[in-house]
Amino acid sequence: MTLPDNLDAIAADLWARLADAAASGRSAWHTPVVGTADGDVRVMVLRHTDPAAASLRFHTDARSPKAALIGGGGPVSVLFYDAATKLQLRCAGIGKAVSTGAPADAAWAASAASSRRCYLAQLAPGTISETPTSGLPAAAEGRVPTLAESEAGRANFAVITVALTRIDWLHLAHNGHRRALFEHSGDGWAGRWVVP
């Protein structure tokens, strides 16, 4: 695989890959590992990438522990890896979880009924159960609800936006790994090469 050999080209390439990952379920970067300040990690679906704002967006249950932990400004890490290209991206930033307002409303409106279904769960994620359960009401179990039926889940829906402050790019290669670090300040992004 031929990759760009200068920092500006690498930055443009990684943002293009992130945009593709948000748009395509076939992208290896579509489901990164997301970590929160408590050291917990989970796989989440990347829903949107905004290069101009240097942000990533995910969806979650508003009742989840991660939504409460991130709140209005908690640290978040995001790890992407593509085994085919041998590209790893470690991102860090400040997250914000919101369940009301225009961003949440727009994300909900753009979500398919099949995606909305999980927000119909009657109890919060992590609630202890005596039996295996999806948490869904019986009427929603095993089928995709109509858009009208899915509206009941809107109260449980939240978006997590991560404003990135650092991107650590690594290309693994037999002939020598390459690594670049991009950091965001008030003046924009600055990149530099670092030893892998």
pLDDT of residue 175: 87
Is the pLDDT confidence value at 155 over 70?
A: yes
Q: Are 157 and 168 in contact (CB under 8 A)?
A: no
Q: How confident is the model at residue 32 (pLDDT cuts 50, 70, 90)?
A: very high
pLDDT of residue 55: 96
In this structure, the number of other CB atoms found within 10 A of the CB of residue 173 comes to 12
pLDDT of residue 185: 82
Is the pLDDT confidence value at 71 over 90?
A: yes
**Rounded to whole angstroms, what are the CA distances from 22 to 67, 88, 99, 162?**
20, 16, 20, 14
Q: How confident is the model at residue 40 (pLDDT cuts 50, 70, 90)?
A: very high
Is the pLDDT confidence value at 186 over 80?
A: no
Is the pLDDT confidence value at 1 over 70?
A: no
pLDDT of residue 187: 81
Mean pLDDT of 89-110: 97
Q: Cα(154)–Cα(151) distance, rounded to whole angstroms?
A: 5
CA atoms within 13 A on the CB side of 70: 30
Name the average pLDDT for the chain: 94
Element holding 80 (H helix, E strand): strand 74-82
* 186 vs 117, more confident: 117
pLDDT of residue 78: 98
Q: Cα(5)–Cα(189) distance, rounded to whole angstroms?
A: 18
pLDDT of residue 139: 87
Tell me the whole-structure pTM to 2 decimals: 0.94
| The token pair that represents 115 in the structure block | 């995606």
Q: Are 88 and 61 in contact (CB under 8 A)?
A: no
The dotted CATH code for 7-194 is 2.30.110.10
In this structure, the number of other CB atoms found within 10 A of the CB of residue 35 comes to 18
The domain limits of the chain are: 7-194
